[in-house]
Amino acid sequence: MIPSTFPPKAEIARLAARALLEIKAVHFNAETPFTLASGLPSPTYIDCRKLISYPRIRSTLMDFLAVTVMREAGFEAFDNIAGGETAGIPFAALVAERLALPMTYVRKKPKGYGRNARIEGAMTEGQRVLLVEDLTTDGGSKLSFVDAIRETGATCGHTAVIFYYGIFPDTEAKLGAHGVKLHHLCTWWDVLAEARAQGAFDAGTLAEVESFLKAPRAWQEARKG
């Protein structure tokens, strides 16, 4: 069923943050920072993949994502929903079901045999494609997926994610320069606010997380190596 009526954006952000905290997808550790894929340290880590195991929360957040896209991009803005390998695939399927649209997925690189394809499923020239992923940090990984979609002759001017870090100021500009608009449900700031409201972590940890969010590069530089 196509969703149509939901809370305003600020309430969606709060509820999405609450859901991520409830399933313990949010991890804060100021004493022993996590190592990100970039190799840099962070006191925060989020695992959106856990959502697929929680049907009520999964359904609610996918309704939120579908209605966010319709509100911000248009009700008839897309012809195809593409998931990014691998985390974006289940969420793309769920959003495609809600919007009654075809679903495809994009490989990180050609599979190296057979058709050597990066696009799986039927994507055709001229289709308007929405790229769905679980999250974005600085937006860089989205550009390769967008380029693969555009190589088919389709267009891709929008990407939708559940979680957007929201702490690197050039992210949306980087995507915008590539002709892509970002849509999201919540950010680290929303999660921090909800964690404080719930008392989900001790005050010292939350203060260190806030320090990181305000100046992530400086925080990482001071602690790397």
Residues tagged in the binding site annotation for orotate: 137
- At 31 the three-state DSSP class reads coil
Annotated binding site: 107-108, 111, 133-141
Q: How far apart are CA 29 and CA 43, in angstroms?
A: 5
Annotated binding site for 5-phospho-alpha-D-ribose 1-diphosphate: 107-108, 111, 133-141
Q: How far apart are CA 101 and CA 122, in angstroms?
A: 12
Long-range contacts at 106-113 (CB < 8 A, ≥ 24 apart): 106/82, 106/131, 106/145, 106/148, 106/149, 107/148, 108/84, 108/144
Torsion (CA) 38, 41, 46, 49 in degrees, nearest 10? 40
Closest by CA to 82, choosing from 73, 71, 93, 72, is 93
Q: Exposed, middle or buried by CB within 10 Å (0-12, 13-18, 19+), for 106?
A: buried
φ, ψ of residue 128 in degrees (nearest 5): -95, 115
